Amino acid sequence: MLIALAAALAGCEAPVKIQPGLSGARITIQAKPKSGYHRPVAGVSGVDPYGMSTPASVDDEVPQTGAFALVDYDHLDDIVVWLEPQNRVTPDAVPPDITLDVATPDPAGPPLFATGVGGVLRVRNTGRRAESVYSVSEGNEFDLGALPAGGMARSTLHRPGVVEVLLDSRNEPLARVYVAPSPWVRRARGGQSVVFADLPPGAYRAACWHPRLPGTEQNVQLRADQLTRVTLVVGVDALARSR
């Protein structure tokens, strides 16, 4: 009985408070493999580390250099979700700022962050030596120069797309930043729901992006004093739907 109660509670959505006259959206992300992509029987040879069969062709998944990419759809992260107003009115919301430290690179590889156009990237150096920080990403090029130990510099990101933050001392980026065309942006993972509350009612475009798989988008109408539910799918056969 306790197990059943816990399961029921886990499936409940947390209530969302919306200010009178404003609107909200709950966006659920589903990560799905291509149609016809089946999980093999455990223990069968040829199974990749995620327990999924290797793609039969290049079109099944995004290949890596010299090998097929392996995708764990059950634990797919680094998904970026946003809501973009379609009324051509500049929103009052401010995109999230991002702070990086050149002295603490992620051993797992460049992490992904998300912000919107106009978001501020702050880079600090808690290390003992100066580090040259720059980006050559189109539309978001910057050169923060040699950042001294204990120093901090900043750059405003002006164009949607992926920004690679580079260091002279490293072969791979310190981090990657996805810049969405809206201040209402979040990072998510497959199976997760993200909530945007207290938005002006009106027409929006709900969209998602992933560095290796196709994302989707959908036009939605947000109404005052209501929470609109949207499902976006990440995957080769991605289709978006609203309910």
Half-sphere exposure of 80 (CA within 13 A, CB side): 25
Distance of CA 191 to the CA centre of its chain: 13
CA distance 230 to 84: 14
Pairing relationship of beta strands 79-85 and 202-209 according to DSSP bridges:
antiparallel
Quote the percentage of the chain above a pLDDT of 70: 74
- Tokens representing 223 are 């109404």
Determine the pLDDT at residue 106: 86
pLDDT 10s digits, 38-58: 554 444 444 443 334 334 333
Question: Nearest CA to 100 among 134, 72, 63?
Answer: 134
Q: Are 1 and 9 in contact (CB under 8 A)?
A: no
- 20 has a pLDDT exceeding 50: yes
Domains and CATH numbers, the chain: 24-34+47-93+186-243 (2.60.40), 94-182 (2.60.40.420)
Nearest CA to 98 out of 116, 80, 83 is that of 116
Cβ atoms 197, 107 nearer than 8 A: no
Q: Is residue 81 very low, low, confident or very high in pLDDT (cuts 50, 70, 90)?
A: very high
| Cβ-count burial 40-51 (b if 16+ within 10 Å, e if not) | eeeeeeeeeeee
Closest CA to 155 of 170, 173, 171, 143: 143
Three-state secondary structure call for residue 6: helix
Over residues 149-178, the pLDDT tens digits come to: 999 999 999 999 999 999 999 889 999 999
Q: Enter the pTM of the model.
A: 0.79
Q: What is the pLDDT of residues 108-151, one digit of tens each?
A: 889 999 999 999 999 999 999 999 999 999 999 999 999 999 99
**Cβ proximity of 196 and 25 under 8 Å:** yes
pLDDT band at 14 (very low <50, low <70, confident <90, very high): confident
